Amino acid sequence: MGLEDRRLPRPGKIIAVHLSYPSRADQRGRRPAAPSYFLKPSSSLAESGATVERPAGTELLAFEGEIALVIGTAARGIGIDDAWDHVAWVTAANDWGLYDLRANDRGSNLRNKGRDGYTPIGPDLIDARAVDPAGLRVRTWRNGELVQDDTTADLLFPFRQLVADLAQHLTLEPGDVILTGTPAGSSVALPGDVVEVEVDAPDAPGAPTSGRLVSHVIEGAARFDPALGSLPSVDDRQREEAWGSRAAAGLDAPAPALDPALRAKLLEAPVAGLSQQLRKRGLDSVSIDGVRPTRPGVKLVGVARTLRFVPHREDLFRSHGGGYNAQKRAFDAVGEGEVIVIEARGERGSGTLGDILALRALARGAAGVVTDGGVRDYAAVAEMDLPVFSQGPHPAVLGRRHVPWDADIAIACGGATVVPGDIVVGDDDGVIVIPPALADEVADAALAQEAEDAWIAEQVAAGHPVEGLFPMNAEWRARFDAARGTGG
């Protein structure tokens, strides 16, 4: 049934969910414990085939294909088991947003997402009684290319929960629309682009569908008046989030944190051998003591980014511990091939990161994390393809012992000074810090020593005594050089 046939009344409320799909949450690097919402004005509604305007002087108009729920009967104080009975229709929606206006309205999203035409829905309605809310699919196409494709099978917050949760705070009235969040794949559309969204229930009888909701992107002519309010502004972080990645945004890829050849040598060289070579060069205070990998057998190589926690103090945690604090900023800023090194003063009485921040580091391409404190969600972190070295597991949150204070400064971690830009290498023997200027020389020497030690081990296994062999005297050195074809 089409929207025009149903003649839905203009909704009193359009309520949108921030995050509900695991794929989107993982892309954002955070999985909220409970749903959160924002309101969109009913004047933002549009029909299939309408135009969506990107205002003059802006660049980051982003689409978000979503499933829209239309309330059929009033709901207030209902249980989760009864929630779906209050939904009459399911259809497609596109929760358009202008990232250029996002910063100053972050949270409310009023100007970012409330403009006229920024909530197209339709074109057809699916009877909610004919479908399983966990059996729906949403897909989005940009200029004919499929860019979003996900289902409601494993949502962070099932649709019944969303309806019941909202109804415990306010009355959902007939015609109200709930936008249920978008999966990964949301990105930027340009003037001239055509974006289509379709919702269907492929396994339900008759495979009901909303049909394709079509939006045509155009360039607006009017500009914003600076005398009236804040103006659009963007930075590379907003570009990355709007497009979905730095590469998609056309941003210059960061320079490799390490020369590939050097990285390959450090991956091969054992930490014990590197430590020995640093000591020969007068550097004996380079070990980050007391840390072990969450998963044995991993190798860590990367360039240090630093984060410092100070001891917990209630007033300081109130001012520095909440919101977008130094810890969260550090994990959002870490680059490819970099290692977040955390100063936690050797305090094992709380976690210094958990699975969500580890996931964010992994999504950013980080080489790993080193902390001389504890790790929450230890088993989940250990399963990730991210080397993490710590003092071990602890269930408590950060605020039990720490205040996140600052980042990208010289810190002390496990008794070692770590400066941003230092090279960090770890394996089952531990973690060391290498001054960048010595890295090539130390890596070459450690690999040479490793080859020598392997040859010595072969001789010992063959029955030779270690006297004169370990370390090698002149006779054994000559034999080694001859065996390796390096003799004179």
Q: What is the DSSP string of 462-483?
A: TT--STTTTTT-HHHHHHHHHH
Tokens of 18: 């921030």
Asked whether residue 95 is marked as a ligand-binding residue, the answer is no
Asked whether residue 356 is marked as a ligand-binding residue, the answer is yes
Whether residues 436 and 452 fall in one domain: no
Q: Give domain status of residue 335, yes or no.
A: yes
Tens-digit pLDDT profile for residues 286-337: 999 999 999 999 999 999 999 999 999 999 998 888 877 889 989 988 989 9
Q: How many domains does the chain have?
A: 3
Whether residues 100 and 112 fall in one domain: yes
Whether residues 234 and 361 fall in one domain: no
Q: What is the pLDDT of residue 449?
A: 87
Whether residues 462 and 434 fall in one domain: no
Q: Give domain status of residue 251, yes or no.
A: no
Asked whether residue 372 is marked as a ligand-binding residue, the answer is no
Whether residues 39 and 152 fall in one domain: yes
Asked whether residue 357 is marked as a ligand-binding residue, the answer is yes
Q: Are 372 and 275 in contact (CB under 8 A)?
A: no
Tens-digit pLDDT profile for residues 459-473: 889 899 888 888 888
Q: What is the pLDDT of residue 253?
A: 52
Q: Give domain status of residue 7, yes or no.
A: yes
Reported pTM: 0.58
Residues of the chain with pLDDT under 70: 1-9, 106-107, 252-256, 486-488
Whether residues 434 and 453 fall in one domain: no
Q: What is the pLDDT of residue 82?
A: 95
Domain that holds residue 95: 3-243
Q: What is the pLDDT of residue 255?
A: 52
Whether residues 75 and 154 fall in one domain: yes
CA–CA separation, 35 and 105 (whole Å):
19
What one-character-per-residue DSSP string does 422-468 give? -EEEEETTEEEEE-GGGHHHHHHHHHHHHHHHHHHHHHHHTT--STT
Q: Give domain status of residue 465, yes or no.
A: yes
Q: List the 187-188 sheet strands across, edge first.
A: 97-98, 61-63, 187-188
258: nearest Cα among 446, 440, 411: 440
Domain CATH for 398? 3.50.30.40
Q: Give domain status of residue 249, yes or no.
A: no
Q: Are strands 145-151 and 119-127 parallel, antiparallel or unpaired?
A: unpaired
Q: Give domain status of residue 209, yes or no.
A: yes
Burial of 265 (0-12, 13-18, 19+ CB in 10 A): buried
Whether residues 371 and 406 fall in one domain: yes
Whether residues 197 and 225 fall in one domain: yes
Q: Give domain status of residue 254, yes or no.
A: no
Domain CATH for 92? 3.90.850.10
Q: Give domain status of residue 250, yes or no.
A: no
Whether residues 291 and 166 fall in one domain: no
Q: What is the pLDDT of residue 4?
A: 43
Asked whether residue 376 is marked as a ligand-binding residue, the answer is yes
Whether residues 218 and 79 fall in one domain: yes
Asked whether residue 392 is marked as a ligand-binding residue, the answer is no
Half-sphere exposure of 242 (CA within 13 A, CB side): 26
182: nearest Cα among 301, 25, 48: 25
Whether residues 93 and 227 fall in one domain: yes
Q: What is the pLDDT of residue 238?
A: 80
